[in-house]
Structure 1
């Protein structure tokens, strides 16, 4: 006597499980998405205040803005960064989902020659599908000192060694979704030896007048964030060191 055919029952059970999973996903998305219907929200931004600059977490009111992590799980592990999914408690007690790119951090170098030219690298960026013009930069290895990383990356990408390398600032590249910080340095007293880029890095190097780079930043032709910041800081420093004569 032949066995009863249970293939349809198996497929039906699998289909039901799939539909249940999809429904659960939709409910999760609806529960943790607040960018659509705002009719249920009863909180408002504070009225604008004229005041001196107060940095984040230094204002007593900031405590009421904090989100409290409830759980954090690694959703994806990559070569350069990980993506973690956090469930956080909002200030009003509701829960929300935050996907965060965890990055070890990086450095960027404003390398200036004695005659006022800035060192730029030309590199194809797959994410944008084109070549970009940027200041040299690179990822920190875990535990690496940013200053040592700056000198290493400058030499590897451009073949330049710096007599002096001074810290300028640190920028959060896109703090809406990543904890990446880029530490920006200024390198001077440059001498050229030999570059040593990574196996998957193909780079051309330019030395262009700083004022041309600043002009390109100001009229929107340079989009790379670290390069925009580096160029404008460098330009501001130059103007502060050599203030214009008010009689001119």
Structure 2
């Protein structure tokens, strides 16, 4: 009987308590948070940023000094797979030889369209954005299909979201939306010679369309009333182009 009681006692002692399980869960959460946010050992780093130099503009990777900034990818694994994008976890070697973790959103890319009517109005779409919990005002835009040409995608998205067909489509610029953690590129086009047809939004897209006078739109951007990045960039480029094309005062 003594042996049986001893075994029962050992069994009770070996079984983790609720407190132990809570501690283990907290430790696991801390490890996960550290893995997502820790970029390497900062306790003894001894490097500084380069001294500011007065010089002409040199684009990225075109400066000989840029070679000393590059990181070498040691490994890359898919940490999460989603409907629109994936999140990959990269282990990299820093310029000083230390190791760091980079979480990168892998996105297929997108297009956006600054659509101008003949009477100087810009086409804006109104959509509810769940990430922000409210309706935003944006220029028409959409994700690239695999292997799709951006110009064709721009024409397709403009028609699907607004029902507008463009006689002319001109490339404006490409922006990296959040290069600190995502590889998404948005190609922005200007559409003119617009004709109204039938819209055909995606099954989960519910959109209202506005045609707003360009100066009013530009003022709203400059006043900080429009926060969508591609829309802000599109507006400012459109404004700059219109000024360059306007006859110069004598």
Q: Same fold (TM over 0.5)?
A: yes
CA distance in 1, matches of 2:26, 2:222: 50
Q: Which residue number corresponds to residue 27 of structure 2?
A: 22
CA distance in 2, matches of 1:182, 1:28: 30
Q: Which residue number corresponds to residue 208 of structure 1?
A: 212
CA distance in 2, matches of 1:244, 1:71: 55
Contact 2:39 2:102 in 1 (8 A): no
Shift in Å, 1:22: 2.8
What are the ranges of 5 or more consecutive residues in structure 1 without an aligned counterpart? none
Q: Establish whether residue 166 from structure 1 lines up as the match of residue 170 from structure 2.
A: yes
When structure 1 is superposed on structure 2, of 133-142 and 3-12 the one drifting more is 3-12
Query: What secondary structure does 1:122 align onto?
Result: strand
Distance 1:28 1:77, change over 3 A: closer
TM-score (norm 2): 0.89
Match of 1:33 among 35, 38, 49: 38
Match of 1:128 among 106, 111, 132: 132
Moved over 2 A (4+): 1-12, 18-30, 32-35
Number of matched pairs: 244
Match of 2:240 among 203, 213, 236: 236
What are the ranges of 5 or more consecutive residues in structure 2 without an aligned counterpart? none
Q: Establish whether residue 179 from structure 1 lines up as the match of residue 183 from structure 2.
A: yes
Query: What secondary structure does 1:11 align onto?
Result: coil
TM-score (norm 1): 0.89
Contact 2:39 2:101 in 1 (8 A): no
Shift in Å, 1:116: 0.7
Shift in Å, 1:166: 1.1
Match of 2:59 among 55, 58, 61: 55
Q: Establish whether residue 11 from structure 1 lines up as the match of residue 1 from structure 2.
A: no
Shift in Å, 1:9: 2.5
Shift in Å, 1:238: 0.6
